[in-house]
């Protein structure tokens, strides 16, 4: 079992290397405002950011505001977002999210985790993305598949559920790093620590990673 002080030192070293290699990491979802980011993040469930970015220009051309999306027809939204998968449920959530923004928040995207998670289709991960990227509010740590996998390899957590992984990461990461850490790990997961074929031999984090291949 790693001592807390040793883990703290290792976390610092990993963060330094992530800053060096992915210092400018940002959200990969294309958006112009908080509303677009919220909609794109809802669409990103079980779908790649690349695919979402192919779909959202048409979606936002047809529905550039919550007021217009709130009046959108289910069939029309479904047709636009069909290629993102689970399109019926996502279309329902997008329209419901826009309706609640209009009815409860005067068309503005709220800035609290409680209000955001009260919107259809917006779980904690979505809320953390919107708060961190759109408003610079460090409400928590975004936990996606890359963050889950690499955090476990690094020994930063041994949990499997996103909620418990986030709790562990919030304990060991300095709060100013909560927003950027996920973006950096996602880039690292795409470029080096690839799920099917991790490139441990060229990984800068290797000597600080208990899960690295021998």
CATH topology of domain 34-135: Endonuclease III; domain 1 (1.10.340)
CATH topology of domain 4-26+141-208: Endonuclease Iii, domain 2 (1.10.1670)
Q: Where are the domains of the chain?
A: 4-26+141-208, 34-135
Closest CA to 143 of 164, 158, 113, 122: 164
In contact, 163 and 113? CB cutoff 8 Å: no
What is 72-99 written as a DSSP string? --HHHHHHHHGGGSSHHHHHHHHHHHHH
**Active-site residue, 90 included:** no
The whole-chain average pLDDT of the chain stands at 97
- Given the residues 125, 171, 177, 207, the one annotated as active site: 125
Using CA atoms in the order 111, 117, 118, 122, what is the torsion angle rounded to 10 degrees? 110
pLDDT in tens, 68-99: 999 999 999 999 999 999 999 999 999 999 99
d(CA 50, CA 33): 18
**Active-site residue, 144 included:** yes
pLDDT in tens, 150-161: 999 999 999 999
- Given the residues 21, 144, 168, 171, the one annotated as active site: 144
pLDDT in tens, 47-64: 999 999 999 999 999 999
Contacts of 147 (CB under 8 A, 6+ apart): 141, 165, 169, 181, 182, 185, 186, 189
In contact, 132 and 160? CB cutoff 8 Å: no
Alpha helices by DSSP H, listed for 23-161, are 34-43, 49-62, 66-69, 74-81, 87-105, 113-116, 124-129, 135, 145-153
Residues above pLDDT 90, as percent of the chain = 97
d(CA 54, CA 52): 5
The phi, psi pair for 51, rounded to 5°, reads -65, -45
pLDDT for residue 212 is more than 70: yes
- The pLDDT, as a whole number, for residue 2 is 87
d(CA 41, CA 117): 13
Q: What is the mean pLDDT of residues 117-121?
A: 98
- The pLDDT, as a whole number, for residue 214 is 57
Q: What is the mean pLDDT of residues 165-181?
A: 97
pLDDT in tens, 30-48: 999 999 999 999 999 999 9
Q: Which helix (H) or strand (E) holds 3?
A: none
The phi, psi pair for 23, rounded to 5°, reads -60, -35
- The pLDDT, as a whole number, for residue 1 is 76
- The pLDDT, as a whole number, for residue 7 is 96
């Amino acid at each position: 079992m790693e001592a807390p002080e040793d883990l703290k030192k290792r976390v610092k070293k990993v963060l330094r290397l992530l800053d060096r290699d992915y210092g400018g990491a940002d959200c990969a979802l294309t958006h112009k405002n908080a509303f677009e980011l919220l909609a794109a993040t809802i669409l990103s469930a079980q779908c790649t950011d690349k695919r979402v970015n192919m779909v959202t220009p048409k979606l936002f051309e047809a529905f550039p505001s919550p007021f217009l999306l709130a009046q959108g027809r289910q069939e029309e939204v479904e047709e636009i977002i069909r290629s993102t998968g689970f399109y019926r449920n996502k279309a329902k959530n997008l329209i419901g999210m826009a309706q609640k923004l209009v009815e409860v928040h005067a068309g503005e995207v709220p800035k609290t985790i409680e209000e955001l998670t009260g919107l259809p289709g917006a779980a904690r991960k979505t809320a953390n993305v919107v708060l961190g990227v759109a408003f610079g509010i460090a409400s928590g740590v975004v936990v996606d598949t890359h963050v889950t996998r690499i955090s476990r390899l690094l020994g930063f957590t041994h949990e499997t559920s996103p909620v418990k992984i986030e709790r562990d990461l919030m304990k060991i990461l300095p709060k100013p790093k909560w927003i950027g850490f996920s973006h950096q790990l996602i880039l690292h997961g795409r470029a080096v620590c690839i799920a099917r074929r991790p490139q441990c031999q060229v990984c800068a984090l290797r000597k600080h990673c208990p899960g690295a291949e021998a």
